Amino acid sequence: MSQRGLFYGWVVLFAAATVVAFGQGSLFSLGVFLKPLEDSMRWSRSAISVTALINWMAMGAGSLFWGALSDRFGSRPVTVAGGFLLGLGLVLSSQATALWQLHVTFGLGVGFAAGAFLTPLSATATKWFTTNRGLAVAIVSAGGGAGMLLISPLSRWLTSVYDWRVAMIVLGDLAWLVTIPVALLIRSAPGEMGAVALGGAAAAQRDFSARQVLRAPEFWAIAVTHFACCAAHSGPIFHMVTHAIDQGVATMVAATVLGVSGLASIAGRVAGGLIADRYGAKPTLIAGLGLQAAMVFSYLFTRDATSFYAAAVIFGLSYGGVMPLYALVTREYFGEKVMGTAYGAVFLISTIGMGLGAWAGGWIHDALGTYAWLFISSAAIGVMAMVLALTFRQPLVAARAPLAAGVR
């Protein structure tokens, strides 16, 4: 590969972001379908929210499974397989007539398929780039925000014009038509090409096994922090549309609020990656978690479209800004050799938090008739995540092998 032309790592990044957009956008579209499913199928919000719990747990298990496969076979075949299963899960979900069927098709099917994208492709990004690693991971992660921005309003529009079944069929077809061809652009990094092409020094390999990763205290510190972070923001994100509708906001406007949050999260992810490249992942993470907790608490005071849009922008910046940082700190501690497995395991634990937060929001609303206690408890958990991040130590692996240039 010539270094005079376009560095192919950038092609990989934007292909990865596109695929992640469909995966994450499809997951979060369940929040848009929540009210239509409640109205048409007469299922309670807490019952539908169980699908979100299954969704995220399946994605977590898939992230570990697909991440380990990508370490062995590369990200391209993993991403192609995930794209096929994502489309299949969405199309089958459109035919659900019982709640258990939605649990299987959308919960297990879509969730497990989406696990083939973010974790393996974030690991791939860390291998292509060294001096701009934070930006690289941020671009891949930003695909999730783009998915919310585009797919949430599209899902709402299709549901309004037709119904939720047609909307899911269209999303499934788009998943096949877009993710599979784009996935073919993804390549594994040719040994240290990213480091050399972008001016970094070649990284010394660190010999961690998967078992050693899971035994390391650093792994559990990162994983539990990620769990608390996701538990804090998942409920407010998943129930953002229905909460806005409950406050009297029009349905299409409410879906657009979720899209605006996704748009802001793109800026947050890129900014978080750039700031981490300059100041380090840990201080950036701590600041982002503090802002996230404050913004979750602010939802207690949102009442109209203007306040929802304002909260969505800052909330999106905060939760978007922290999301790429967990891949960075995982890479700093454990290196690239088992990055797919290590980050897959971290992400598995975090998705339990995502699922529990989304389910708890529905349960709290059905039990108490309000989302107020969701926002109070989520803000408290967000503060706990910030405290946990303060416990991160400098990577001990630095004593075993030097870190790559550009990694802090």
pLDDT in tens, 225-275: 999 999 999 999 989 999 999 999 998 898 889 889 988 988 998 898 889
Task: Identify the pLDDT of residue 300.
Answer: 94
User: Under 8 Å CB-to-CB from 408, ≥6 apart: which residues?
Assistant: 276, 277, 279, 280, 281, 332
Q: What is the mean pLDDT of the chain?
A: 86
More confident call, 76 vs 327: 76
Options 1.10.530.10, 3.30.9.10, 3.40.50.2300, 1.20.1250.20; CATH for 8-182+210-394 is 1.20.1250.20
Does the pLDDT of residue 195 top 50, yes or no?
no
Task: Identify the pLDDT of residue 266.
Answer: 86
406 dihedral zone (left: phi>0; alpha: psi -120 to 50; beta): left
Q: Would you call 61 helix, strand, or coil by DSSP?
A: helix
Does the pLDDT of residue 402 top 90, yes or no?
no
d(CA 378, CA 385): 10
Task: Identify the pLDDT of residue 196.
Answer: 43
CA angle at 95 for the pair 243 and 39, rounded to the nearest 5°: 30
Q: What percent of the chain is modeled with pLDDT above 70?
A: 90
- What's the predicted TM-score (pTM) here? 0.73
Does the pLDDT of residue 45 top 60, yes or no?
yes
Mean pLDDT of 204-221: 76
Task: Identify the pLDDT of residue 206.
Answer: 56
Please say whether the beta carbons of 361 and 238 come within 8 A: yes
Task: Identify the pLDDT of residue 348.
Answer: 85
pLDDT band at 328 (very low <50, low <70, confident <90, very high): confident
130 dihedral zone (left: phi>0; alpha: psi -120 to 50; beta): alpha
